[in-house]
Amino acid sequence: MAKPETTGHAKIPRSRADKLFDIVNYTLLTVILLIVLYPLYFVVISSFSEPTAVNSGSVALWPKGFTLEGYRIILENGDVWSGYAHTILYTALDVALGLALMIPAGYALSRRDLVGRNWFMFGIVFTMFFSGGMIPTYMIVKDLHMVNTIWALVVPSAVSAYHLIVVRTFFQTSIPEEMLEAAKMDGCSMFRFFFRMAVPLSAPIIAVMALFNAVAQWNSYFPALIYLQDGSLYPLQLILRGILISSQLSAQGADSGIADPDSIVESQRYAELIKYALIMVASVPVLALYPFLQRYFVKGIMIGSIKG
């Protein structure tokens, strides 16, 4: 008689040591997760809580005295919406320019038949450890007539030496030489191979570089502080910084008894609330973008940084 077929895999019995190991791992990971997430959670609940509750330290797990006053003060400021528009424009230009430069450069540096490849890599790596500094960079930007223009925020930050090395490593480990040789035998040119085969296969690293450049540009405020004099060009971070400084100065003025008492007391009351609301306004777009790029982000980092 034939034995009946069994479906599935046999379940391996787990020992007490294995179960204890899992319990310890899950406990440690849960603790680490809470430590990492709680500061962000605290900012969220503080931004919706009454300023007096936040200042007294009574806000710990839940919002107290739910209010949207901090968000109302910020979002009623027309400069905030202007800063949002500028930051979106700067981020889009930075990502587009960065990808247009880093992807072809990384692919070229990954090819062994590139003449002088080692010298190019030496120069790129050298800039990671030795840079001209802020003053020479400002002088170059000024000589290129980019001061007080959007290009002063986009061009200098478009390409990172570290990112370029990651892109090159990705192409070295993901696009084998044999694929190019086979394409050449079929009459495919180098440019056609790059655009028809290399670029479609590099979606993970493109997503990673786009995310890196977007986050860096979105959170950047110091280049705008240096290069921009026209307030109509300010990005979101610089405008939010100005709002935060103004609220803190008003609160300090209340302590010294300067200016109108009613307006100063109101500014002092909402100084902390505005601070937390500012963090949320600046962070929400990035937090909303990350889940859509997470799988590419993890895959690209693992391939681009560890292998090879």
Q: pLDDT band for position 47 (50/70/90)?
A: confident
- Evaluate if residue 92 carries a pLDDT over 70: yes
Quick: pLDDT tens for 98-141: 999 999 998 888 888 888 888 988 888 888 888 778 888 889 98
The pLDDT value given to residue 97:
93
Q: Which CATH class is domain 72-239+271-305?
A: mainly alpha
Query: For 106, how many CA atoms within 13 A lie in the half-sphere containing its CB?
Result: 30
- Displacement of CA 184 from its chain's centroid (Å): 38
What integer best gives the mean pLDDT of the chain? 80
The answer to whether residues 64 and 58 touch, using CB atoms and an 8 Å cutoff, is yes
The whole-model pTM stands at: 0.76
pLDDT at residue 11, rounded to an integer? 66
Res. 94: pLDDT tops 90: yes
Q: What is the pLDDT of residue 275?
A: 78
pLDDT computed for residue 306 by the predictor: 47
- The least confident of 159-173, 221-235, 236-250 is 236-250
Percent of the chain topping pLDDT 90: 10
Q: Where do we find the tokens 């001209």?
A: 132
Residue 269: pLDDT over 70: no
Range among 34-38, 111-115, 188-192, 281-285 rated most confident:
34-38
pLDDT for 101 equals 92
Residues 62/45, Cβ–Cβ less than 8 Å: yes
- Please state whether 289 falls in left (phi above 0), alpha (psi between -120 and 50) or beta: alpha
Measured over all CA atoms, what is the biggest interatomic distance in the chain, rounded to whole angstroms? 99
Q: Out of 70-74, 181-185, 212-216, 255-259, which region has the weakest mean confidence (pLDDT)?
A: 255-259
DSSP character string of the chain: -PPPP--SPPPPPPPHHHHHHHHHHHHHHHHHHHHHHHHHHHHHHHHTS-HHHHHHT--SSS-SS---HHHHHHHT-HHHHHHHHHHHHHHHHHHHHHHHHHHHHHHHHH-TT-TTHHHHHHHHHHHHH----HHHHHHHHHHTT-TTSTHHHHTTTS--HHHHHHHHHHHHHHS-HHHHHHHHHTT--HHHHIIIIIHHHTHHHHHHHHHHHHHHHHH--HHHHHH---GGG--HHHHHHHHHHHHHHHHHHHHHT-S-HHHHHHHHHTHHHHHHHHHHHHHHHHHHHHHHHHHHHHHHHHHHHT--
Q: Whole-angstrom Cα distance, residue 133 to residue 137?
A: 6
Predicted confidence (pLDDT) at residue 302 exceeds the cutoff of 70: no
Contact criterion met (CB below 8 Å) for 293 and 210: yes
pLDDT confidence of 299, banded at 50, 70, 90?
low
**Torsion of Cα atoms, 223 then 227 then 233 then 234, to 10°:** 40
Task: Write the pLDDT tens digit of every residue in 144-195.
Answer: 999 999 999 999 888 888 888 888 888 888 888 788 788 888 788 888 888 8
Neighbours of 237 (CB within 10 A): 20
The pLDDT value recorded for residue 37 is 87
